[in-house]
Amino acid sequence: MGKTLFDKIWDAHVVQNVEDGPTQLYIDRLYAHEVTSPQAFDTLRDKNIKVFRPDHVVAMPDHNTPSDQQEVIHDPVGRKQVETLKANCEEFGIKHFAMGTKDNGIIHVVGPEKALSLPGMTIVCGDSHTSTHGAVGAIAMGIGTSEVAQVLASQCILQSKPKTMRINIEGTLPKGTTAKDVALYIMAQMTTSGATGYAVEYAGAAVRNMSMEGRLTLSNLSIEMGSRAGLIAPDETTFAYLKGREYAPKGEAWDKAVAEWRKLYSDADAVFDKEVTYRAEDIAPRITYGTNPGAGIAIDECIPTLEKIPEADRAQFLSMLEYMQFEPGQKLEGVPVDYCFLGACTNGRIEDFRAFASVVKGKKKADNVVAWLVPGSWLVRQQIIDEGIDKILEEAGFELRLPSCSSCLAMNPDKVPAGKLSISTSNRNFVGRQGPGARTILASPLVVAASAITGVVTDPRK
């Protein structure tokens, strides 16, 4: 029997199988940010252990980083976390991309764009959206703080092997439909727990035709349906994206690496524990209406009526709508929005800013909208300037901010006030995610751009 892509990478990294226990898995790359790493470094300090392979670890602050200025972090807790990360990196000899430097940004944007994440790798970080890096053809998983300490100390981790699932998206995506819409569609079909216990491989014509940025968006949202990891087989799109980047192999080493990466695919006779297929033509631009990413609809549809919700789920459904100030059966197209956010490790890449600019060019931002446009890295920000996108945004009334996780989560100054409605390219619409009492609609850069111009939830196709 053939092997799946996941099995090939996993098996190549097994150090030992613990009898009646987990697998000891070798880790190629550990990413660390300021929120989940301090306790892990304390564990090493308490046990008088050094970092085993510091050259395999890369750290940067992103969650607490302000997007309006980066001279100082005014919040004392956030400031201490960022300062502690810097001190830990200095003490243990770890590569640190400091706030405000050209190498900094959101860790899940910087890793792939610098080719620190490569096909065939095992990658971990104390952050659930580590699944993003699977888009290059790697096993990438979010881990807990105690597991971060394991990797720092041994470059290994104890993990139970998940089951495998393949999600095929066949056909051609309609105009106006993006990778973000594909991810939101899958979650609505499978629910936010539909892939729990699985590692998901995305395949099919629509996935093969996605840009690298689109694939990163799709893999990023794998965790939102419970998946342990999400990955995509590397191909010519992957190789073209990685070639020449800062940490990519060079010269003869590049050719050798690509020759090995070409072997990273699921064999024709590989059997997955579960396999599902969706039609790309069925996927329209989407928005969420509830407080989890799976509670979503096509932008021109209505929120489900109570009769369409199973009786056991109705109390939760009504509770979501009460928080969001929506009604069963309501159409959200045309509902006024207060905040628009473009950014996050989901949609903070250059392609996302190009898409946003294509909608707002020659138009003006609605007066009632506060807009935060936040690149995922300093490299992305420089690309925006080099391509003149910043001028298009400025002429339309938008301000280009500094790289940060920003309004994805309420850990920095970019908080949405209580009761206000935000339409956001981020990954989570949980209660209070963008600020205490804030309400969040998740959408693609195209939908957010159209809504920022009109001041109401707007279908970009119109």
Residue-level pLDDT at 340: 98
CATH class of the structural domain 5-274:
alpha beta
Give residue 1's pLDDT. 85
Q: Would you say the pTM of this structure is higher than 0.85? A: yes
Q: What CATH code would you report for 287-454?
A: 3.30.499.10
- Residue 59 pairs in a beta bridge with 32, 96
Mean pLDDT for each consecutive 10-residue tract of the chain (462 residues)? 96 94 97 95 97 98 97 96 98 98 98 98 97 98 96 97 98 98 97 95 98 98 96 98 98 98 98 98 98 97 97 97 98 98 98 98 98 98 98 98 98 97 98 98 98 98 96
Q: How confident is the model at residue 128, as a pLDDT?
A: 95
CA trace torsion 413, 419, 423, 426 (10° rounding): 50
Tell me the domain boundaries of the chain: 5-274, 287-454
Domains 5-274 and 287-454 in one fold: yes
Contact by Cβ (8 Å): 302, 329: yes
